[in-house]
Amino acid sequence: MPEDTIFELDDYKFTFRSTKDPGKLDLYYLKNGDASKPLKVEKDQSLKADDGSDADADSSDSSSGGDSASGGDSAAAPARADSGGGASSSTAGSSAAGSSSSTPTGYILNKTYTAPKVEAKENNYELTIQAKYGPTKSTVIQVARAGVWPKQISVHTVDADSKDYPNAELMLSQDGEDDFEFTTDDKGKCDVQLKAKDPYTIKAQLPWEIISDETPTDNRQHEVTIKYNFIPRFLSPVPANTGVIRQYVNLDTESDGSDGQGHTVTFTVGVKPDAKGRKGKKDDVIYIQVKYSLTSKRNDPKPALSGCDDAANADGGKTYTGSVKLTDDGGTATFTVELGLAGGDTCEVRLSSVKDTFDDGHVTPVKIQNWRRIWYQLRYPDTMADKLDDVDVPPPPEPPSTGTKVTVRDTPAAPAASDASGDDSAGGASGGDQSA
């Protein structure tokens, strides 16, 4: 690993020390260790006598916010002192090389090099500085080494049609740093300053979702396809406080099934405003999932989802999926759920703004159970009247006249099991509510 880390275009300060004068030396600045194409070569550099005064200069450099490293020949092993990059200082070598005495301690060369930019298709690179000296410049020693990281990235947010998506709210994450938020401008663009010399990740949190993050020409030029994942909601019918809606499927409805009557229910859905008051936009897609129990053999009419786009079913018709689009900004959309006539059967309707993801706890599902309301007349001799108990039941509609004068007493109907034909109603004249 590199001894130091710096940002591109930062001034990198380094020092070469020797206990004896090596004569003229050449400095090679290498990228990723490639000596065949050095970034820069400085010929015939001379060291000066080190009387310890440069230690104060190094300290001054450190406090100014630059980055520095130091190295030396075999008599003074390589050492480094990071001045602003966050690394701790260290020294190595003979006591003469590490002394801060005013007497000469050897020879020293202080240099500053501006790190080139990280290239378009690089994530980072390693900068190595070598010194070559001796009669034929055959002695090679590494003076300093640093990892160079980009200082800034650019983000352009677009929608699924590659059009500018303005004011998108995203987050940037780097190792060892707290995530921080940034927002693109009216054209969907933002320049983001990196806080750390580490890899980074662009992230989103609800209600935003990143569909893709492309860097086709430059690793730091991000084109992010974004989607605003609103939170959908049921407008009619709404989830029951008790958890399950009791739907009388054999009664006629006067409000598309939202009154708890009828075997066909028309749902109206919209978007829940978020904390900033944002509502759904025209053509925003709400995804639907309907799950049926199908415990009865009765299948006419057949339970199904309709009135939506891309309707499909799986698991033998137990699960339906589809989608609807909002008709206007802040508008609504509708779809229809056929419940069938089988008493006791259930269905659960879920919504999501993300396709094939229906476990979002923000949207309470609508759960419905089929019930049937039936009527009956109990005929009995007046001599049995004192043996019968009255039971309070909701008054049903007046039963049709039979033409025979009888005493009528309303009582609840006993549950009736489905017969082989799938008819869930009880046999004989009866009255009351049934869910089985």
Q: What is the 3-state secondary structure (H, E, C) of 149-184?
A: ECCEEEEEEECCCCCECCCCEEEEEECCCCCEEEEC
Q: Which residue has the higher pLDDT, 118 or 408?
A: 118
- Provide the residue ranges of all domains of the chain, joining segments of one domain with +: 4-149, 152-228, 231-371
pLDDT in tens, 202-231: 998 767 889 999 999 999 999 999 988 888
- The single-letter DSSP state of residue 236 is E
Give the pLDDT of residue 399. 53
7 pLDDT more than 90: yes
* Nearest of 55, 51, 97 to residue 74 by alpha carbon: 97
Q: How many CA atoms lie within 13 A of 355 on its CB side?
A: 11
* 244 Ramachandran zone, left/alpha/beta (phi>0; psi -120 to 50): beta
pLDDT-derived band of residue 382, with 50, 70 and 90 as boundaries?
A: confident
What percentage of the chain carries pLDDT values higher than 90?
A: 58
Give the pLDDT of residue 68. 55
For 152-228, CATH gives 2.60.40.10
Give the pLDDT of residue 51. 75
Other beta carbons within 10 angstroms of residue 433's beta carbon come to 17
Q: Residue 233, SS3?
A: strand
Among 37-46, 156-165, 309-318, 384-393, the least confident range: 384-393
State how far the Cα of 113 lies from the Cα of 143, in Å rounded to an integer. Answer: 13
Give the pLDDT of residue 3. 72
pLDDT-derived band of residue 430, with 50, 70 and 90 as boundaries?
A: very low
399 and 432 in contact (C-beta within 8 Å)? no
State how far the Cα of 419 lies from the Cα of 181, in Å rounded to an integer. Answer: 62
pLDDT-derived band of residue 100, with 50, 70 and 90 as boundaries?
A: very low
Among 65-79, 103-117, 322-336, 351-365, the least confident range: 65-79
**Phi and psi of 105, rounded to 5°?**
-115, 0
State how far the Cα of 134 lies from the Cα of 24, in Å rounded to an integer. Answer: 8
State how far the Cα of 167 lies from the Cα of 184, in Å rounded to an integer. Answer: 5
* Nearest of 385, 391, 321, 384 to residue 357 by alpha carbon: 321
- The single-letter DSSP state of residue 261 is B
- pTM given for the model: 0.55
For 231-371, CATH gives 2.60.40
**Phi and psi of 9, rounded to 5°?**
70, 5
Q: Mean pLDDT over residues 286-294, rounded? A: 96
Other beta carbons within 10 angstroms of residue 73's beta carbon come to 22
97 pLDDT more than 50: no
Q: Mean pLDDT over residues 91-98, rounded? A: 33
Q: Residue 9, SS3?
A: coil
Q: Mean pLDDT over residues 15-24, rounded? A: 90
426 pLDDT more than 80: no
